[in-house]
Amino acid sequence: MRDVDDVTTDLLIIGAGPTGLFAAYYAGFRGLRVAVVDSLPELGGQITAMYPEKAILDVAGFPSIKGRDLVEGLVAQAATADPTYLLDRTATTLDHGEDEVVVTLDDGTKVTAGAVLITSGIGKFSPRPLPAGEGWVGRGMEFFVPSFAPYAGRDVVVVGGGDSAFDWAQHLEPIAASVTLVHRRDAFRAHERTVAAVKDSSVEIITNAQVTELRGDGHLEEVEITVDGQEPQVRKAQALVAALGFIADLGAIQTWGLETQKRHVVVDSSMRTNLPRVFAAGDITDYHGKVRLIAVGFGEAATAVNNAAVVLDPTAHVFPGHSSEG
């Protein structure tokens, strides 16, 4: 256990992804002291960990922006609040005082806050395994594509039928020697526009199929693909991306007494949870009509912070005026 200093702040944000970073900025705009904790060692949450090079299309004002550029802008914006960052640490326990919430981190740090805002997305996540890929991670098989450069000139197989699989197939197609997308069904979960773009590209799509074997001497050289009811076929491949989705785990948050629905935290229209002084925003929340987009998370963050400000100071107003009026 490392030496730590306990922290006292107005608002503790749990999760340093886009929603958490924007909430940190907005807390500063409301004049609040803010601390941000995240189990990852870097800011940016899933974007930094999984797809920093991916083009993000659902942020207002940016027809397209790379994940890393979005995070860079959010970090610069949040810096105006002078947040205390507690990275590579996980929140483990939450206890209530009379006018405060005390959150203990896994390194022993105690954070005393007037309110807590949970913006931890899907929580801790781990990729769903590719059965045939056991032992191949780092030898040609990966679950994420943090950089496209290593795939230049390679024959790449992408396994999956969701947004990540199609996004990576689309982005890799211009730089790879070839891209083959393999999916076990003939229907896809990815956005229709992305599916259409990939179908119109040079990407070969093989459906009702599975990758049944990876082969190579030390590093991946070829894969065996089996289409339902057919003999296996072998394709040359130096890289394989297993984009089969993730297993999410809210971890210790599930023990705090929060009302949850299918691994999401239930909130009301002010982003309050069922626990006093505890709010939530972003992908982790659930309510009727919830839409999980980064753009929605930004709005929920502002809603949560404004309502938390009133909890911290009952004389304050929920709506402080527009940020452009400052």
- Binding-site residues for FAD sit at 19, 38, 46, 51, 91, 125, 283, 324
Question: Which residues participate in the annotated binding site?
Answer: 19, 38, 46, 51, 91, 125, 283, 324
List Cα–Cα distances, 15 to 22, 125, 242, 316, in angstroms: 11, 13, 26, 26
Nearest residue to 160 (alpha-carbon basis) of 179, 134, 178, 138:
179
Residues 6+ positions from 36 with CB-CB distance below 8 Å: 12, 13, 15, 16, 20, 21, 24, 78, 83, 84, 85, 86
Count CB-CB contacts under 10 A for residue 85. Answer: 17
Closest CA to 170 of 186, 187, 151: 151
Q: Residue ranges of the alpha helices (H) in the chain?
A: 18-29, 45-50, 67-78, 163-172, 192-199, 294-312
What gap in Å lies between CA 120 and CA 277, rounded to an integer? 17
